[in-house]
Structure 1
């Protein structure tokens, strides 16, 4: 807070740990959203410090569990997104998300949410951006994938996918990953904040670097980013005469930035 942050993004399942050994263990760590103690604690912190927080936790809804990203702010709970693409053993514990791809209005700008593995599916960031998001916040638990894990610069494929999604949608994207090993899961690190041009703002965190990244940006600047030159506007150049503007998605409406 001393650095003046007003939007904080936490890693995936940051308060519970990522790896569950059984459904019983997963249920024991899950809680309702937003009435559970974790979201209430985030709300209290957000009000006390005048900040927005994107966190992620196992959500309990009846007898279903969801890997859920939550947005809270000084005004309290704002909204949630349930991860729609589940990775590996997540499928043993969680139900695929059923809330679509919401975008939330805040005093900072429009904030969209995704979680981790979602970034491998280009439709997700495109749909969030098409609904007018100024920034997409992505709690991640990028785990070790088939080698090579990194290129010569120490950058993993997930970081490149994040930069690509930011570039092709001209939207800010902020990711937060973990490092080290938890039970059977090793984490990639490489947290980053990508600008609307796709390039990292500042730097990409190292594979084993325990750090906090900061970026001084006005997220609503993304609303002019799609205009590249006199003749190219990213959104106008889309061939919506050949494919549906929202790719068949009916969970929200297109909103120009």
Structure 2
């Protein structure tokens, strides 16, 4: 029997024979074989010792006149470490310690670009409805403790790191993704464009809608963009990153089961197909419990299930719904151009017509 925290991929694999599984994989995932990448023995040891799962898959492109443009991407989902009543610095440092081990493992596998989940150094306290009590987690995008911590790792491992944080810019808060280049330098940031005000997710009470537009960051390895959490529900948000030249769009999230798990596996996959780029969806795991000032308690449980999709619509299996995890994807960026040539979406898009209607 399936347990309530088992993910869809595990249930399917357990209940189908080999031939049935091939048919299912072809229809659901887009290919019969997941193209798993063999991991080092040291990686598996680190995964076991530090209590996180790890899996790796590849997306290849057809041979052509250009050389393959191979890039290894890493997606990290994780739970918080300490209870939310502990001092803020202790909570953050405990997460730093956990993430350092996962990033070290990713680096040993040659990961070039890694993305962490939405507001990764902190619990997602928005469900409390309280703000100033948690102000210690807000930090500078370019000089905050998270950026300094990850800058050292980026330089050490020659790795681009996407770090979604709660940004404090002269007293104004933003939900921000910081991009750090392989030399450990602050490359830039993107502020979350679309903010939910649904149930306990009333983010407009905490920070402002983004003012950075749809930046695409030219890195040593690929052109990347970040569509933060709720932005995945907006098709035009995905499209703008494509128009600005993205090869890979990360979607770092903090999403609970009652808020769209049924379409978690659909939206970023649709975006990859419609826009001919790779999408990487990251969601945190674990249950976070809070005690408000009035003594009442509230908690939220996140369902992980991070995955990646190629521009031809093929996708990976998901990480666990309840465990920390590292997902590694080896991709050939040439597949973006090839998908565009096959489907002709750019040629048939009629953006002039849409622009007229929108105006």
TM-score tier, shorter chain, comes to 0.7 to 0.9
Q: Do structure 1's residue 40 and structure 2's residue 151 form an aligned pair? A: no
Give the corresponding residue for 2:222: 109
* Superposed CA RMSD: 1.8
Kindly indicate whether the alpha-carbon contact (under 8 Å) linking 1:129 and 1:169 is maintained by their aligned counterparts in 2.
Answer: yes
CA distance in 2, matches of 1:209, 1:38: 23
What are the residue-to-residue correspondences of 1:119-130 with 2, within 5 Å? 119-130=232-243
Give the corresponding residue for 1:218: 332
Structure 1 runs not aligned, ≥5 long: 151-155, 249-257
Give the corresponding residue for 2:249: 136
Q: Relative to 1, partners in 2 of residues 1:31 and 1:241: Cα closer, same or farther, differing over 3 Å?
A: closer
Greater percentage in helix: 2
Give the corresponding residue for 1:77: 186
| 1:239, distance to aligned residue in structure 2 (A) | 1.1
SS at match of 1:99: coil
Q: Relative to 1, partners in 2 of residues 1:26 and 1:65: Cα closer, same or farther, differing over 3 Å?
A: farther
Give the TM-score, by structure 2 length.
Answer: 0.62
| 1:118, distance to aligned residue in structure 2 (A) | 0.5
Q: Do structure 1's residue 237 and structure 2's residue 348 form an aligned pair? A: yes
CA distance in 2, matches of 1:14, 1:97: 18
| 1:206, distance to aligned residue in structure 2 (A) | 3.2
Q: Which has the higher contact order (CA 8 A, sep 6+)?
A: 2
Greater percentage in strand: 2
Kindly indicate whether the alpha-carbon contact (under 8 Å) linking 1:9 and 1:175 is maintained by their aligned counterparts in 2.
Answer: no
| Structure number, greater radius of gyration | 2
Give the corresponding residue for 1:255: none
Kindly indicate whether the alpha-carbon contact (under 8 Å) linking 1:46 and 1:73 is maintained by their aligned counterparts in 2.
Answer: yes
Give the corresponding residue for 1:186: 301
What are the residue-to-residue correspondences of 1:1-257 with 2, within 5 Å? 1-20=107-126, 21=128, 22-75=130-183, 76-87=185-196, 88-145=201-258, 156-183=262-289, 184-200=299-315, 202-228=316-342, 232-244=343-355
CA distance in 2, matches of 1:101, 1:170: 17
SS at match of 1:38: helix
| 1:220, distance to aligned residue in structure 2 (A) | 4.7
SS at match of 2:279: strand
| 1:165, distance to aligned residue in structure 2 (A) | 0.9
| 1:177, distance to aligned residue in structure 2 (A) | 0.9
Give the TM-score, by structure 1 length.
Answer: 0.86
SS at match of 1:70: strand
CA distance in 1, matches of 2:221, 2:281: 17
CA distance in 2, matches of 1:136, 1:219: 12
Q: Relative to 1, partners in 2 of residues 1:177 and 1:24: Cα closer, same or farther, differing over 3 Å?
A: same
Kindly indicate whether the alpha-carbon contact (under 8 Å) linking 1:66 and 1:95 is maintained by their aligned counterparts in 2.
Answer: yes
CA distance in 1, matches of 2:352, 2:122: 46
Deviations 1:56-78 (Å, cap 9, x if unpaired)?
11000112100101111223111
| 1:91, distance to aligned residue in structure 2 (A) | 1.8
